[in-house]
Chain A
Amino acid sequence: MGGVLRIILQRLFLGLLTLLVVSVVIFVAVNLLPGDFAEAILGQGATPEAVASIRADLGLDQGMVVRYFSWLSDALRGDLGTSFAQANFASFVGSSANLGGVTVADQIAPRFANTMFLAGVTAAIAVPIALTLGILAALFRNSIFDRATNILTLSSISSPEFFLAYILILLLAVVNPILPSLSNIYDGMAFGERLQKTLLPALTLTLVVTAHMMRMTRAAIINLLASPYIEMARLKGLSPLRVIVVHALPNALAPIINVIALNLAYLITGVVVVEVVFVYPGIGQLFVDSVKIRDIPVVQASCLIFAAAYILLNLLADILSILSNPRLRHPK
């Protein structure tokens, strides 16, 4: 087990290093956006003095390197800064120590929780469906069932998300009013109601992510069917389902886990369109709004959270793949 622990620590360290590099990239990229908050908020009639004053208050007049390190050291202490947009500019004159507004963390936290809830509901629906469909497609490979599943999942992944969303709204909210078409959830909502309101966007996202996972499950299993130990399992007179689930699947886990992680990361970071369609208050919408008004602290913090989600999920996938390999789990 010592070997596995070392590999995991190694990966963890590499993950942190990646996050650091990503933070630099985010910071530079965000600062390369044309225009800044001062210009955006003051509009076209802004006097140079007013712009300069707001910049000075926000620290935008300092060099990029200085700003990066002060941002990084704050972030390391858990302080992601204060949102520009929520700052009360009238209340401060000369002192920029405390803008007196809403902190980025306060602003992002509830949105992020909503995003995680949506991602969680989607994953709970999509992953079992994708695995089951993948296993069945491998079992009945080249049959009508296999082809139909492939066509359906491929068409759903090929359609734009908003299109799928409107179709589902039409079918499940308009023609058969089973589910609400608006997902305006708020704090303190009961779990059942929240779940009901989240279901439509979750179903839309399920359609988007299932194909990838299902096809990888199918391919990874079929890839192994020619191996001698699968032939051996067949020659023991086992049922085809048992051959696939007990003998092929455990050896096909690594690629499947990786694809699942990739799709989960997408659910956390890439669902802006679906959020907009269903008016779902997730982090994606907040992010897009913040980019529009150059609310740099929020943009940076969101990017960092997205990056961390990607790295963390991939790390988790790596670790699980390693653990799925008996050679590493049980060294000689």
Chain B
Amino acid sequence: MSALVEINDLWIEGRSDEQWNPIINGASLSLNKGEVLGLIGESGAGKSTLGLAAMGFTRDGVRISGGSVRFDGIDLVNASAAVKRELLGKRIAYVAQSAAASFNPAHRLIDQHTEAPVQHGVQSKAESQADGIELYRRLRLPNPDEIGFRYPHQVSGGQLQRAMTAMAMSCRPDLIIFDEPTTALDVTTQIEVLASIRDIVEQFDTAAIYITHDLAVVAQMADRIKVLLKGDEVEEAETREMLSSPKEDYTKSLWAVRSFQRKQKAPAIAGATPVIRVKNVNASYGKVPVLHDVSFDIHEGRTVAVVGESGSGKSTAARCITGLLPPRSGHIEFDGEVLPLDYRKRSKMQLRQAQMIYQMADTALNPRKTIGELIGRPVEFYMGLKGAEKRKRVEHLLEEIELEPSQYFHRLPSELSGGQKQRIGIARALAAEPKFIICDEVTSALDQLVAEGILKLLAKLQDSLGLSYMFITHDLATVKSIADEVVVMKDGRVVEHGPKDEMFRPPHHPYTDLLLSSVPEMDPDWLTNLLAERGIDNIGDAAVDKM
């Protein structure tokens, strides 16, 4: 039997800076009917480009410069646009990373669902609509009969992602490309989506290419895994074999990322004055209350991880501490001194002591300023240094974040990688010589290897400078590696609070338990076992029985 998809020595280039640069260097893959291939690699590895190329599609400014892509014997590299259009949506479908951005905001979900079948002449609008509702039911969307008649903005992210999977299924394609379908979701939501995707792909015997940077996720989904690095193929093997005995060094390093774990420090001496004390804080955006009676302490030299799903109030708590959002009631203490609630009423000294590092280093750094200026600004503003002294201090800070001053001083942010930009964000925070730093999802936009480097740097700085961190994250693996204490938040309340070791040891608060058990593990049977444990049988079977 010949393979469904056959990619042979494929070369892809992208245009930037007036020239063509390689994105994929001679990749090959083959995929049989009903098989799931995991494509894994860091950002910039060319995963999405390769995934789209398997559909015969390249984005604007990208071209296939050599090699072949065959789908069911059809040469997609040389096929006319009309031939490809006939396949796309009908026999090959795509599920994008952000369903919220990939659903057209102007049309109802069901109208977008029925579009491909109707346009390709597969089904009538009414048939397709009925089928869509059935698919929504199988994917266990709430209110399957009416959810399709909503607009995308009226539906949550996890539900949209499932609706998009349903949409991809609308013509019962032979192949679906899943492009990081769960990356933008919370862990608890991710599980439902993963389970839905896996079951529906099995039921319809659909072949799939599953693109992700998360190894634990791909372990649940794929029959085989292919690892990419900067457009080059590293290795490919059956999932179990790849997990148990990776051959290449790069793959091994990917596998090892999750092993970084620093020792938990002894708890602060009872009665010691905390660096930051958040006491009975209530806050709201307009009339909408977001924080309810939130209290926690952060002691000197300690890292407190604040975890929770999006919308749980983690970032709002940070905004209250910095005074950007004055709380309705309660107060914030720094070193035992009560801070004015509004940052405008705080002294320069008080402002200096608490600094922030942001999630998106890209948007947090002024693109028109050089690195020297970016770090020099707080040095001058808070410490009053000028001229040669300022320069010396900036160079010292660059050394602290492990970037060679002579090389980086005059560069612009656009000339740095994501991880380097985040390091600049750290240096800028350090420039004020604070005692306390809020790290807001600082590693969530970074690849695992790079993220690990940032975590190690933060740990080193904490040891040498005695810093305290409030570490906001939704990633429990990060918590495990860096936190001393953990605050779990849900719906604007602190549901659990304690030393890390206790947090990761049962018994947990039920919500903490849900969070912890939802973090994918590298074991390929993890998802199956978890679903069995939670008493959810295979979604598909239940749905099939009903049909």
Contact = CB atoms under 8 A, between A and B. Distances in A.
Interface of A: 226-229, 231-239, 242, 246-247, 250-251, 326-327, 330, 332
B60 A238 contact: no
A149 B87 CA distance: 34
A235 B57 contact: yes
Contacts of A238: 85, 89, 115-116, 119
Nearest to A229: B104
A105 B105 CA distance: 47
A332 B154 contact: yes
A250 B107 contact: yes
Given A236-B89, A237-B88, A237-B120, A229 B102 contact: yes
B126 interface: no
Given A227-B101, A235-B88, A236-B89, A326 B94 contact: no
A237 B151 contact: no
A326 B106 contact: yes
B153 A232 contact: no
Contacts of B104: 229, 232-233, 247, 250-251
B84 interface: yes
A253 to B, nearest CB: 9
B114 to A, nearest CB: 11
B98 A228 contact: yes
A226 B115 contact: no
Sort A-B residue pairs by CB-CB distance and give the 10 closest, nearest first: A237-B88, A236-B89, A250-B106, A237-B89, A228-B101, A237-B85, A235-B94, A228-B102, A229-B104, A232-B102
B287 interface: no
A229 B57 contact: no
Given A237-B84, A332-B153, 13 more contacts: A228-B96, A232-B102, A233-B104, A235-B55, A235-B57, A235-B88, A236-B93, A236-B115, A236-B116, A239-B85, A251-B105, A330-B154, A332-B154
A236 B119 CA distance: 9
Nearest to A247: B104
27 contacts: A226-B60, A228-B98, A229-B104, A229-B105, A231-B59, A231-B102, A232-B102, A232-B103, A232-B104, A235-B88, A236-B89, A236-B93, A236-B116, A236-B119, A237-B87, A237-B119, A238-B85, A238-B89, A238-B116, A242-B119, A251-B104, A251-B105, A326-B106, A326-B153, A327-B153, A330-B151, A330-B154
B391 interface: no
Nearest to A238: B119
Interface in B48-89: 55, 57, 59-60, 84-89
A110 to B, nearest CB: 43
A280 to B, nearest CB: 41
Interface of B: 55, 57, 59-60, 84-90, 93-94, 96, 98, 101-107, 115-116, 119-120, 150-151, 153-154
A251 B106 contact: yes
A330 B109 CA distance: 13
A231 B95 CA distance: 11
A311 B153 CA distance: 32
A323 to B, nearest CB: 12
Given A237-B119, A332-B153, A326 B89 contact: no
A235 B89 contact: yes
A234 B119 CA distance: 12
A235 B120 CA distance: 13
Given A235-B55, A238-B89, A326 B151 contact: yes
Nearest to B57: A235
Contact of A229 (B60, B86, B101, B119): B101
Contacts of B115: 236, 238
A145 B389 CA distance: 61
Nearest to A227: B101
A229 B151 contact: no
B116 A237 contact: yes
Q: Give the one of A227, A232, A250 with max B CB within 10 A.
A: A232
A226 B102 CA distance: 11
B26 to A, nearest CB: 25
A329 to B, nearest CB: 8
B103 A229 contact: yes
Given A238-B85, A238-B89, A332-B154, A232 B96 contact: yes
Q: Give the one of A237, A242, A251, A330 with max B CB within 10 A.
A: A237
Nearest to A233: B104
Contacts of B106: 247, 250-251, 326
Contacts of A227: 101
Nearest to B97: A228
Contacts of A232: 94, 96, 102-104
B506 to A, nearest CB: 37
Contacts of A326: 105-106, 151, 153
A52 B85 CA distance: 82
B156 to A, nearest CB: 10
B105 A234 contact: no
Given A228-B96, A242-B119, A237 B103 contact: no
Contacts of B60: 226
Q: Give the one of A235, A238, A246 with max B CB within 10 A.
A: A235
A235 B153 CA distance: 22
A263 B116 CA distance: 38
A251 B120 CA distance: 24
A218 to B, nearest CB: 17
A246 B115 CA distance: 10
Nearest to B155: A332
Nearest to A251: B106
Q: Give the one of B90, B94, B98, B104 with max A CB within 10 A.
A: B104
Contacts of B119: 236-239, 242
A236 B88 contact: yes
A229 B103 CA distance: 5
Contacts of A231: 59, 96, 102
B121 to A, nearest CB: 11
Given A232-B94, A327-B153, A237 B105 contact: no
Contacts of A234: 57, 88
Contacts of B96: 228, 231-232
A240 to B, nearest CB: 8
Contacts of B89: 235-238
Contacts of B151: 326-327, 330
Nearest to A250: B106
A139 to B, nearest CB: 13
Nearest to A324: B106
